[in-house]
């Protein structure tokens, strides 16, 4: 085939593939089989491989992901990307509607679902996608265009006759089915499960390999349009125009978007979706109410962080009663024993709940739980089920009170409870099977030694096979031993494990210290200690008094560290790790430049952020002299709130008068 013919055929194939892609992912009415689609794609890929200069950045072949992105550049938004003011009750919605009616008379509102995903800005020039930005700080965001191109409901080329430049904004999210499928695969691979679709979507969009992003099955819904001039002075009209251009928008036929001109109409829409949201495959956490008239929007203007013409109503956590028919007591890596309620199955927030957390013995006593009780269960943050109340009037006659065990349910050792600590724990750390397994799982985890190929199931299998009894045993493993385990332990997977163990010897000292699983020494404290002491030898020789001189180390942490190194079993494991070549000292070249801009201030970080990961925002605080705490108290200086901050933390901050700031304000404090 000649070059001219190849160019023509590439254009034809690209147009056909985008058409079929739109029919399948946007309109949900495919007209060709997957096999026929794949044949067209293979032909296109072959032609682009032969004539790479004819391949467009917006070729349908880019849907499967391109080259790895080394970094995400920060790019200013042409129009600021603001967040919305949130409301949790009908009274606040009524105040919003009545204020507008009083000032502006009769107004039509557009009502939309509030998608629980990640905001995205999509810029098109002459109908071609040129840029995809995260919200960032509202003024600038990260350029994740390579990842955006893999989202099949985002058009790479617009239909019809679009303006020379436009910006469409929407929400990228992950469906429940894709999320469950992803977690099923991770469980099979022995990897840590993801918590929820929203956080998984945020993490996926920041991955540096677009090919991995392409496999996650992300979706997109457009909810606003920016261009000059706008095609309509109605917000609803602009969304319908986006639909004509080929975007996936809220579907009026499914009531994903509709209009209302009264408070009654708005509340009816909210009531409908408060009930019907659990029937959707996508997660929504509320309803967005917008003034429809663009002229009126411009007249009403903006606050510093949100528009005056829109408000988001957030749904309350769903609660239901079900029967408590038993309890299991789980032993964690530190020996902490956690009670888990066994429930009659109940549908809650779109999933079937059979188990719920009870936390500790104090919670059991507070709720006065009896076997057979009807208990109220809710999903905190739509994620973790927990018991919040008991209907004593429905308690069966002769029901036995739920008692906390005196001995470890796994090894029979008498449980202990330190003064001022909520949980009981098993002190038999070197012979209690679940503690050993959980401790090894913690050691190999991503934030610790990050050993590829090892997860919950593989660690359990190695322990049951007698190949490992502690973390040091990992460094004695041979590939031949793994291959002898039989089915599922092939040449490739076992080599991945051996290579991962070898690579872990270069992990920085602060992460090695965290990986050891010393009680009360979390990720942040481990960093502080590692930087203060420099090496494991010095740490092992320090007294409680010396340890307490380290920032963030109090009596409890210092005593725990001293107890760890006083135990013969722990000292033996540490020596074996040293002999294996694990990194036991801080690399001087890794020292991080510090500032004192946040010195004396304590921060609590909650929610999901646009320009930081959770770890990144904590590191930024620490690098500038601040402290990060896990709970709000009177000593807390600021709460840094991201999307999805729990209402309980918000209420606690208000109760104690702690100022709540967002990541933009934190950046300003640091930049100052």
Query: CA distances (Å), 380 to each of 180, 210, 316, 503, 644, in order?
Result: 19, 32, 10, 38, 11
- pLDDT for residue 183 is more than 60: yes
- In this prediction, residue 37 carries a pLDDT of 80
- pLDDT for residue 78 is more than 90: no
Say which CATH superfamily domain 602-671 falls into: BRCT domain (3.40.50.10190)
Please give the average per-residue pLDDT across 59-63, as a whole number.
79
Q: Answer whether 312's CB lies under 8 Å from 288's CB.
A: yes
Cα–Cα–Cα angle for 261, 264, 269, rounded to 5 degrees: 85
CA 134, chain centre distance (Å):
15
Domain ranges, ordered by start, for the chain? 3-64, 107-312, 433-589, 602-671
What CATH fold (topology level) applies to the domain 3-64?
Helix Hairpins (1.10.287)
Query: Is the pTM value of this prediction over 0.85?
Result: no
pLDDT one-digit tens code per residue, 377-409: 987 544 568 888 999 999 999 999 998 999 999
- pLDDT for residue 522 is more than 90: no
Alpha-carbon span 585 to 579, nearest angstrom: 14
- pLDDT for residue 443 is more than 90: yes
Query: What is the band of 553 on the pLDDT scale with cuts at 50, 70, 90?
Result: confident
Active site residue 177: no
Report whether the peptide linkage leading into residue 229 is cis, meaning its omega lies within 30 degrees of zero: yes
Q: How many CB atoms lie within 10 A of CB 511?
A: 20
Residue tagged active-site, from 8, 70, 102, 114: 114
Q: How many CB atoms lie within 10 A of CB 457?
A: 15
Q: Look up the CATH architecture of domain 433-589.
A: Orthogonal Bundle (1.10)
Domain 107-312, CATH class in plain words: alpha beta
- In this prediction, residue 46 carries a pLDDT of 85
Please give the average per-residue pLDDT across 128-138, as a whole number.
89
Strands 602-606 and 627-629 come out as parallel
The proportion of the chain whose per-residue pLDDT surpasses 70, expressed as a percent, equals 94
Q: Answer whether 147's CB lies under 8 Å from 207's CB.
A: yes
> 292: which 2 tokens?
């429809």
- In this prediction, residue 382 carries a pLDDT of 46
Please give the average per-residue pLDDT across 542-568, as a whole number.
90
Please give the average per-residue pLDDT across 478-500, as a whole number.
90
Mean pLDDT, the chain, whole residue set: 87
Query: CA distances (Å), 154 to each of 22, 123, 513, in order?
Result: 9, 11, 44
Query: What is the band of 104 on the pLDDT scale with cuts at 50, 70, 90?
Result: very high
Alpha-carbon span 498 to 454, nearest angstrom: 10
Q: Which helix (H) or strand (E) holds 157?
A: none
- In this prediction, residue 627 carries a pLDDT of 85
Check residue 492 and give left, alpha or beta (phi > 0: left; psi -120 to 50: alpha).
alpha
């Amino acid at each position: 085939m000649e070059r001219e013919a190849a160019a023509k055929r590439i254009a034809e194939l690209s147009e056909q593939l985008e058409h079929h892609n739109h029919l399948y992912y946007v309109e949900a009415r495919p007209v060709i089989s997957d096999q026929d689609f794949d044949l067209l794609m293979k032909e296109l890929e072959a032609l682009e491989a032969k004539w790479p200069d004819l391949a467009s950045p917006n070729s349908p072949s880019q849907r499967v992901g391109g080259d790895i992105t080394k970094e995400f550049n920060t790019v200013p938004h042409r129009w600021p990307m603001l967040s919305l003011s949130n409301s949790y009750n009908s009274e606040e919605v009524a105040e919003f509607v009545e204020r507008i009616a009083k000032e502006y008379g009769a107004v039509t509102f557009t009502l939309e679902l509030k998608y629980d995903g990640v905001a995205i800005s999509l810029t098109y020039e002459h109908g071609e996608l040129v840029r995809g930005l995260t919200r960032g700080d509202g003024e600038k965001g990260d350029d994740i265009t390579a990842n955006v191109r893999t989202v099949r409901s985002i058009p790479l080329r617009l239909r019809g006759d679009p303006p020379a430049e436009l910006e469409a904004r929407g929400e990228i999210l992950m469906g429940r089915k894709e999320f469950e499928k992803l977690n099923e695969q991770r469980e099979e691979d022995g990897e840590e499960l993801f918590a929820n679709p929203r956080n998984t979507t945020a993490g996926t969009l920041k991955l540096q390999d677009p090919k991995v992003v392409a496999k996650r099955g992300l979706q997109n819904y457009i909810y606003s349009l920016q261009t000059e001039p706008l095609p309509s002075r109605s917000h609803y009209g602009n969304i319908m125009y986006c639909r004509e251009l080929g975007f996936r928008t809220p579907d009026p036929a499914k009531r994903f978007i509709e209009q209302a001109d009264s408070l009654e109409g708005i509340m009816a829409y909210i009531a409908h979706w408060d009930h019907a949201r659990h029937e959707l495959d996508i997660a929504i956490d509320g309803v967005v109410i917008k003034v429809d008239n663009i002229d009126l929007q411009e007249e009403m203007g903006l606050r510093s962080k949100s528009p005056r013409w829109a408000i988001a109503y957030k749904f309350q956590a769903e609660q239901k009663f079900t029967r408590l028919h038993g309890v299991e007591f789980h032993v964690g890596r530190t020996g902490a024993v956690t009670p888990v309620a066994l429930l009659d199955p109940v549908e809650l927030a779109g999933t079937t709940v059979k188990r719920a957390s009870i936390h500790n013995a104090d919670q059991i006593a507070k709720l006065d739980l009896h076997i057979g009780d009807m208990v109220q269960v809710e999903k905190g943050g739509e994620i973790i089920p927990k018991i919040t109340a008991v209907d004593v009037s429905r308690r069966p006659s002769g029901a036995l009170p739920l008692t906390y065990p005196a001995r470890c349910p796994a090894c029979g050792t008498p449980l202990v409870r330190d003064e001022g600590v909520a949980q009981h724990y098993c002190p038999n750390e070197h012979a209690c099977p679940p503690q050993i397994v959980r401790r090894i799982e913690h050691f190999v985890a991503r934030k610790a030694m990050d050993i590829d190929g090892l997860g919950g199931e593989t660690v359990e299998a190695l322990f049951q096979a007698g190949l490992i009894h502690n973390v040091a045993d990992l460094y004695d493993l041979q590939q031949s031993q793994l291959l002898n385990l039989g089915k599922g332990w092939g040449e490739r997977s076992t080599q991945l494990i051996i290579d991962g163990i070898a690579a872990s010897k270069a992990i920085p000292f602060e992460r090695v210290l965290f990986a050891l699983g010393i009680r009360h020494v979390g990720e942040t404290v481990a960093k502080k200690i590692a930087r203060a002491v420099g090496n494991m030898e010095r740490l092992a020789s320090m007294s409680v008094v010396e340890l307490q001189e380290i920032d963030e180390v109090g009596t409890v942490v210092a005593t725990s560290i001293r107890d760890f190194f006083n135990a013969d079993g722990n000292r033996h494991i540490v020596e074996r790790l040293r002999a294996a070549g694990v990194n036991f000292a801080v690399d001087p070249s890794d020292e991080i430049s510090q500032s004192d801009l946040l010195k004396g201030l304590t921060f609590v970080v909650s929610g999901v952020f646009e320009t930081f990961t959770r770890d990144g925002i904590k590191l930024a605080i620490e690098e500038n002299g601040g402290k990060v705490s896990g709970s709000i108290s009177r000593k807390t200086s600021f709460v840094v709130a991201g999307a999805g901050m729990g209402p309980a933390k918000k209420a606690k901050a208000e109760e104690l008068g702690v100022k709540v700031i967002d990541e933009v304000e934190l950046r300003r404090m640091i930049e100052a």
